[in-house]
Structure formats: C-alpha cells, structure tokens
Amino acid sequence: MKSKIGFIGCGNMAKAIIGGIVTSGYTNPENVYASNRSMEKLIDVQQHYEIHIAENNKSVAQNCDIVFLSVTPDMYPSVIDEIKDDLWEDAIVILIAAGQTLAQNEERFQRKIKLVKAMPNTPVEVGEGMTSISLNQFVTEEEKEEIRGLFSSFGRVEIIDENTMDIASAVGGSSPAFGFLYIEALADAAVLYGMPREKAYTIAAQSLLGSAKMVLETGEHPGKLKDDVCSPGGTTIQSVAALENSGFRSAVIKAVRANMEKLGD
C-alpha cells in the first residue's frame, strides 16, 4: 500500500485534489507533500489543509510513492528531468496535464516507470469530482485498484482507453467551467428580473446539480428528462425553443471542438 502522496506544482488543480483527499479522510494531511515555484500558494494550501510544504520538487520525489505532476504541460520536460533520478523504484507518477500521453512521458523517464494518466476536474475539492484514468503496463492490478480508490474518495472514476483521453479532458476536465458560465448566466437573468444574486446562484446551481443527478441515477435519456419538464403549451418549451434558436447545442459542440483543436496543437 502506497502511503505518501506528493504534488509537484501546487496551483488550482493540485489544491482541489489535496482538498479532496484530505476532506474525504482518504489520507492524513501528514502524508501529503507539495512543492511549487512560488511560496504563496503553498502557504495557502498548508493553511487550509495542514499538509507538508516540501523544500523543492526533488524533495517531493524523494519522500513520496505517489507523485502528481500538477504543473502545466509545458513544464513537464524540465520537471521530469529534474526529478527522475530521485523517484523511488516503485513510485507511481500521475500525469494530470491536458494533452500529455503515457508514451511521451515514459520516454522522458528513460526507464520502466509506473505511470497513470489522469484527467480530474476541480469539483474533486467538494467530493463530486470526475476523473478519467489510463494506466501503463508497469502498474500492477493491486496498484490499479489503489489508484482507483484514491480518485474514488472524491468522486467518480472511469478507466478509459487512452486514445479517448483528450475528449475526456474537454467533457470532464474543462466542462465545469461551462457549467459555471451557465449558472452565472442564469443568475444574471434572475437579477434582471429582480431576484437577489445569492438566491439566484442557489436556485440555478441546485437545479443543475439535481438534473445531473437524475441523468446518473435514473439512467433515462437526457432528452426524455428534458421532455418531462416541458409541459404542453407551457413555459419551458418556449425557453427550449429560444435556446435552440440561439444555437445552444451547436455552441456547446463548438466549445468542445475548440478544446480538441487546442489539444491537437
């Protein structure tokens, strides 16, 4: 059983995962180490979750048997070069950067390294995350279950074919931003009609949360669930017609296409 969990790069996504594993009780904060280019974010995370601030990136590699590379994709080559000789023989490295592949990074380590490609999202911080994972051939069955357990402690996990990882990044990793935009837009409309903004956020967010839960728990087609809200001659179908007229569905597909194009750069 691997026990020390490290984060190299402690920005938004690392903070969310640290929040997820500590709040869920998956691990004690004393088993979590993080390093970052600047100190400010480390101090903030330590104040929130009482984890260890590591002296530098090498120190995370030396102390941990699960190491998250939570820097931006462009930093992967230099960070891997910096830590590759410090990692434990049996360490598992988790690549969370969008667009980074297992094969590309196996090459950078220049040895048989256990790698997991993971695409989480920020809702892991509140126990409602979605993480898609693929593992390389050096990760054992037992370790695979351990990694699944780690990500399950703060949300749902899907093991997917690595060749669908980019679309999982768009639809799972980026999509919370689309959801927040939608909630903000609904709240703007509510404010336009005189509702206090805070009340509008609650009503809009809980309605979206409930809708998502219905899709996951009833197994019904989303189109059927939408139809059930549209009373004949009622108000909802007027809104649905207006959304379709504004190209809502097509706007979402375009957003995902833009994401995929960026990943293909």
> Closest residue (Cβ) to ligand NDP?
11
Which option in ligand NDP, ligand A1CAB, none does residue 79 bind, with CB closer than 5 to 8 A by kind? ligand NDP
CB of 26 to ligand NDP, least distance (A): 19
11 is in an annotated binding site: yes
* Three-class secondary structure of residue 68 per DSSP: strand
Sign, CA torsion 75/78/80/86: negative
> Closest residue (Cβ) to ligand A1CAB?
173
**Residue showing tokens 């390093």:** 35
183 is in an annotated binding site: no
Which option in ligand NDP, ligand A1CAB, none does residue 57 bind, with CB closer than 5 to 8 A by kind? ligand NDP
> Rounded CA gap, 5 and 183, in Å?
34
CB of 131 to ligand A1CAB, least distance (A): 12
Strand partners, 114: 92
Binding ligand NDP by CB under 6 A: which of 87, 93, 94, 97?
A: 97
Binding ligand A1CAB by CB under 6 A: which of 46, 57, 131, 174?
A: 174
> Rounded CA gap, 130 and 147, in Å?
14
Binding ligand NDP by CB under 6 A: which of 5, 6, 9, 204?
A: 9
Look at phi and psi of residue 233 and say left if phi exceeds 0, alpha if psi is from -120 to 50, else beta.
left
- Hey, how many other C-beta atoms are within 10 angstroms of the C-beta on 233? 7
**Residue showing tokens 């074919």:** 161
Tokens encoding 95: 């690549």
Which option in ligand NDP, ligand A1CAB, none does residue 71 bind, with CB closer than 5 to 8 A by kind? ligand NDP
Decide if residue 70 touches ligand A1CAB (CB under 6 A): no
Which option in ligand NDP, ligand A1CAB, none does residue 70 bind, with CB closer than 5 to 8 A by kind? ligand NDP
Binding ligand A1CAB by CB under 6 A: which of 143, 157, 173, 204?
A: 173
CA distances from 243 to 13, 38, 251 (A): 32, 44, 10
> Rounded CA gap, 146 and 54, in Å?
24
CA distances from 61 to 97, 121, 263 (A): 18, 24, 28
Query: Which listed range, 42-50, 151-159, 167-175, 193-201, lies at the site for ligand A1CAB (CB under 6 A)?
Result: 167-175
Nearest CB to ligand A1CAB, comparing residues 126 and 191: 126
The contact pattern for ligand NDP, residues 202-221, with x = CB under 6 A and - = no contact, is: --------------------
Tokens encoding 235: 């108000």
The contact set with ligand A1CAB (CB under 6 A) reads: 98, 169, 173-174
